[in-house]
Amino acid sequence: MITFDQASALIAGVAKPLGRERVTLGDAHGRVLAAPVIARLDSPERDCSAMDGYAVRESDVAVLPARLRLAGSASPGREYSGALDPGDAVRVFTGAFVPPGTERVIVQELASPDGDHVVFDAPHGASRHIRRQASDFRRGDRLLVAGALLGPRALVAAAAADIAEVEAWRRPIVAIASTGDELVDPGQALDRCGAIPESISLGVAALARGWQARIGVRCRLADDLDAMQAAALELVEGSDLVVVTGGASVGERDHAKAMFDPFGLELIFSTVAIKPGKPAWLGRVRGTLVLGLPGNPTSAMVVARLFLAPLLAGLGGREPDCALAWRSGTLAAPLSACGDRETFVRAVFRHGEVLSLENQESSAQKSLAEAELLVRRHAGAPGAAAGDEVEIIDF
């Protein structure tokens, strides 16, 4: 049995980016760049107005009041032809190219149109309200580095570079298999004695999608080794990662590992000294990673947060550690001493402090819905008092 840190290190060692692919910007949200984004043009392309107002020469408004001839107008995408002559003003709108010779834009609130002239009689201040060519970035500038996550703001910058596609790391394809004779689809348990609604695969799939995975096969398997082995190859083929829930202990009907044995299962680790989640395991079958989760819902989701999220981050082109951004939080109430396994306590925020949930059972699902945080308690840690600092992560 290995420690949590050892398991995390093994995950980081195998969670390597998959192949690259071209992706349109419209489909690139949440993807990770495999190559930098380089600007194809200057921004702005030419000097342009930062305000709605009038383009003028400085000498023409040095003495107020000033009355200038209104020579024309310019708006974004429709420029004024020619240069700005002395004694003239050009009506401009925000983002419009200012004509050559413009030294200042006076905002429209300080101007008084007068037929084919415009009058300026109020001080216009120091700001010139002109965005200079390439003041944001120049053609050839690197706007986004390889490895950047394409969130909403990064997509704006990528589009501003005048590119239609980016080179991104491929999204991992995840297959999910739930095992157990007792499991039925939600909505059917009431009609069958001893049946339990299968819930874990829904949470695992949602978590995987949150880390930009694509869900391939999702199935439910009875505790029949022959049938499970028959399904194993389909799960592995066409997937980058298979997640199996349940069947991870040592009972006579726990076949989660054995179902892959005929296809050359290579274990990376088996059992981890954590609570909940001790039966968690990771292996590889024909180049496809296989993660085994416990069958209890809370245990499964804790392990998925701690192990599946880093796996998907790494496979998708990010650093696996980005999924384990531990930070400090202040306890609102005491925590008891930790046993011989590293423990992850489910907790919530209350008035800016960390409060552990009362029900910490591995099978609990009501409190699972309430949990917002995991509190990391190292093996053998003494009791912690209200006000103490603890390590936390978003759950």
Between CA 346 and CA 354, with CA 351 as vertex, the angle to 5 degrees is 25
pLDDT at 250 exceeding the cut of 90 = no
Mean pLDDT of the chain: 96
Whether residues 259 and 241 fall in one domain: yes
Domain boundary among 323, 354, 371: 323
CATH of the domain at 281: 3.40.980.10
Classify residue 300 by its DSSP letter: H
Tell me the average pLDDT across 95-118. Answer: 97
Rounded CA-CA distance 390/326 in Å is 10
Tell me the average pLDDT across 260-273. Answer: 96
Q: What are the backbone angles phi and psi of residue 322, rounded to the nearest 5°?
A: -65, -20
CATH of the domain at 377: 2.40.340.10
Residues 6+ apart with CB under 8 A from 313: 15, 211, 319, 320, 322, 323
CB 48 within 8 A of CB 102: no
- 53 alpha-carbon distance from chain centroid: 41
Domain boundary among 323, 354, 383: 323
Tell me the average pLDDT across 342-358. Answer: 97
Whether residues 110 and 206 fall in one domain: no
Whether residues 305 and 231 fall in one domain: yes
Domain boundary among 275, 304, 323: 323
Whether residues 296 and 177 fall in one domain: yes
Whether residues 185 and 260 fall in one domain: yes
Tell me the average pLDDT across 156-176. Answer: 98
Tell me the average pLDDT across 154-183. Answer: 97
**Domain assignment of residue 29, given as a range:** 20-43+136-169
pLDDT at 308 exceeding the cut of 80 = yes
Whole-prediction pTM value? 0.88
Whether residues 91 and 202 fall in one domain: no
- pLDDT confidence of residue 247: 79
- pLDDT confidence of residue 253: 64
- pLDDT confidence of residue 252: 60
Give how many domains the chain has, as a whole number.
Answer: 4
pLDDT at 78 exceeding the cut of 90 = yes
Whether residues 298 and 342 fall in one domain: no
pLDDT at 254 exceeding the cut of 80 = no
Whether residues 182 and 216 fall in one domain: yes
Whether residues 90 and 122 fall in one domain: yes
CATH of the domain at 30: 3.90.105.10
Tell me the average pLDDT across 319-339. Answer: 97
Buried b (16+ CB within 10 A) or exposed e, 26-38: eebebbbbbeebe
Residues 6+ apart with CB under 8 A from 375: 329, 335, 344, 345, 346, 347, 354, 356, 390, 391, 392
